[in-house]
């Protein structure tokens, strides 16, 4: 019996199960809210309203989502090749350096639509090169990519601190950050799109990198499922032995996949740096790389899932901030607990309810769970 459980129809697999997991996560989170003496239903209303209730909320949610789409895609591309890139955090952070160089050099001479492409190139290049070293060590020396990418997160952080309190800091400034960029390195906002639907926005950082994120999601889909390179990456990811058999070079595929992953991580830096703060400050990534791991897992490594999961995490960030503001008993740490529960139920315990749902489907309609296909005559 190689398949003890029959398969489910796609809508249940990709729709119903995540929704149930999410629901359970929120129920458990509700108990936590109850424990600190607040009303969980009111908390849920504040969270959702904070994220989607007003135009500003929506814009913030999508701004955070933009960041998570990039880091989620970065983790997913590596994961399809069987590599666990924990270094998204550091690759994004160090990519800020590439953006800083481009912006500081050109913001006074070029308009944004020329600075932006240059910054894209710089951020992807730096991110990819930062991933290249661990990739090379994995491919050639067998050094485990998880260990090396974690190390490279620390190295990136140290380098950035050194640069931001030293060479990149304007003379006389107390803040560990670059000077503020001029108009030539400020990306246009997208708030007008939300305003088209009649919502009001005060000021929110949603900007054109959101569109870039959506384009990259499509391109990642194209890469993974429609190109020869993606085919080779998936082959290696599922079975390195099969890849060897198929004549796929291990060195080449590891290095290529990690560099693409690093490039996507690097693009993440565009969003906060050029779209919001207009400078490169210490710790501007602030954990988005690690959230990307959760986003990628929850999105089942599929770009569509990743976009949806990124919006969910954007909602938790934005709605969580509102919640912490409205209910003082619920601190910022409580929000992290709720996020943790979502990751727990949607990621780690993803298959917990699967057998029950399958049994339910099987009792209603055997055909819908592919019984005929599985039982196919043995030759």
Partner 1 sequence: MAQAAIELIGINKSFGAVRANRDINLEIARGTIHGIVGENGAGKSTLMSILYGFYQADSGEIRVGGKPASIKTPNDAIALGIGMVHQHFMLVDNFSVLENVILGAESDALLKRSIAKARSELERLEREYGLEVDPDAIVEELAVGLQQRVEILKALYRGAEILILDEPTGVLTPAEADHLFRILKQLKEQGKTVVLITHKLREIMAITDTVSVMRQGTMVATRETKKTTVEELAELMVGRRVLLRVEKGEAAAGDVKLAVKNLTVRDSRGVTMVDDISFDLRAGEIVGIAGVAGNGQSELLEAISGIRRAVSGSVMLDGKPIDLTGAADPGELRDRGLAHVPEDRHHVGLVLAFEENENSILGYHDDPRYLKGPFLNIDAIRDDARDKIAKYDIRPADCRLKTANFSGGNQQKIVLAREMEQDPGVLIVGQPTRGVDVGAIEFIHKRLIAMRDQGKAVLVVSVELDEIRSLSDRILVMFAGRIVGERGPETTEGELGLLMAGVEHRGAAL
Binding site for partner 1 (CB under 8 A): 1-7, 222, 226-229, 231-232, 234-235, 238-239, 241-242, 244-249, 358-359, 362, 366, 369-379
Task: Provide, rounded to whole angstroms, the least separation between the CB of residue 379 and partner 1.
Answer: 4
Q: Tell me how far CA of residue 74 lies from CA of 32, 84, 183, 262, 348, in angstroms.
A: 32, 10, 29, 7, 20
Those residues whose C-beta lies under 8 Å from the C-beta of residue 174, and which sit 6 or more positions away, are none
Nearer to partner 1, 16 or 229 (CB): 229
Gap between the Cα atoms of 299 and 49, Å rounded: 23
Gap between the Cα atoms of 122 and 263, Å rounded: 10
What value does the CA radius of gyration of the chain take, rounded to a whole number of Å? 22
Task: Provide, rounded to whole angstroms, the least separation between the CB of residue 374 and partner 1.
Answer: 6
Nearer to partner 1, 3 or 203 (CB): 3
The residues pairing with 207 across neighbouring beta strands, listed in sequence order, are 189
HSE-CB for 254 with a 13 A CA cutoff: 22
Nearer to partner 1, 165 or 222 (CB): 222
The residues pairing with 177 across neighbouring beta strands, listed in sequence order, are 281
Tokens of residue 331, six digits:
């601190």
Nearer to partner 1, 211 or 359 (CB): 359
Nearer to partner 1, 183 or 222 (CB): 222
Task: Provide, rounded to whole angstroms, the least separation between the CB of residue 250 and partner 1.
Answer: 10
Nearer to partner 1, 13 or 49 (CB): 13
Task: Provide, rounded to whole angstroms, the least separation between the CB of residue 1 and partner 1.
Answer: 5
Tell which residue, 85, 172, 178, has the closest CA to residue 127: 85
Task: Provide, rounded to whole angstroms, the least separation between the CB of residue 238 and partner 1.
Answer: 5
Nearer to partner 1, 42 or 252 (CB): 252
Residue located via tokens 């050099």: 105
Task: Provide, rounded to whole angstroms, the least separation between the CB of residue 6 and partner 1.
Answer: 4
Main-chain dihedrals φ then ψ at residue 281, nearest 5 degrees:
-115, 165
Task: Provide, rounded to whole angstroms, the least separation between the CB of residue 240 and partner 1.
Answer: 9
Cα pseudo-dihedral 294, 299, 301, 303, rounded to 10: -120
Cα pseudo-dihedral 112, 115, 120, 121, rounded to 10: 160
């Amino acid at each position: 019996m190689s398949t003890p459980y029959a398969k489910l129809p796609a809508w249940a697999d990709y729709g119903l199960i995540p929704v149930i997991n999410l629901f359970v996560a929120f129920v458990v989170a509700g108990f936590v809210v109850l424990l600190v003496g607040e009303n969980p239903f009111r908390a849920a209303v504040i969270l959702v309203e904070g994220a989607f209730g007003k135009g500003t909320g929506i814009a913030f949610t999508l701004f955070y989502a933009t960041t998570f789409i990039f880091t989620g895609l970065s983790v997913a591309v590596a994961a399809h090749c069987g590599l666990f890139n924990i270094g998204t955090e550091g690759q994004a952070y160090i990519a800020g350096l590439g953006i800083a160089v481009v912006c500081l050099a050109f913001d006074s001479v070029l308009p944004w639509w020329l600075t932006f492409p240059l910054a894209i190139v710089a951020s992807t290049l730096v991110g990819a090169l930062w991933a290249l070293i661990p990739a090379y060590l994995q491919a050639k020396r067998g050094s485990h990519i998880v260990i090396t990418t974690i190390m490279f997160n620390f190295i990136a952080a140290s380098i950035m601190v050194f640069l931001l309190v030293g060479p990149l800091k304007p003379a006389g400034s107390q803040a560990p950050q670059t000077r503020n960029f001029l108009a030539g390195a400020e990306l246009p906002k997208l708030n007008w799109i939300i305003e088209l639907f009649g919502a009001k926005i005060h000021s929110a950082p949603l900007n054109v990198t959101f569109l870039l994120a959506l384009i990259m999601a499509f391109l990642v889909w194209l890469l993974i499922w429609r190109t020869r390179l993606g085919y080779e990456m998936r082959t290696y990811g599922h079975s390195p032995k099969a890849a060897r058999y198929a004549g796929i070079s291990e060195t080449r595929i590891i290095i290529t996949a990690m560099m693409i992953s690093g490039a996507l991580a690097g693009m993440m830096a565009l969003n906060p740096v050029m779209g919001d703060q207009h400078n490169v400050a210490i710790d501007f990534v602030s954990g988005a790389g690690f959230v990307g791991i959760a986003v990628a897992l929850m999105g089942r490594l599929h770009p569509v899932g990743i976009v949806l999961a990124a919006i969910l995490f954007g909602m938790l960030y934005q709605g969580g901030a509102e919640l912490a503001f409205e209910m003082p008993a619920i601190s910022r740490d409580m929000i992290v607990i709720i996020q943790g529960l979502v990751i727990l139920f949607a990621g780690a315990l993803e298959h917990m309810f699967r057998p029950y749902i399958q049994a339910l489907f099987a009792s209603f309609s055997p055909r819908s769970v592919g019984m005929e296909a599985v039982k196919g005559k043995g030759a």
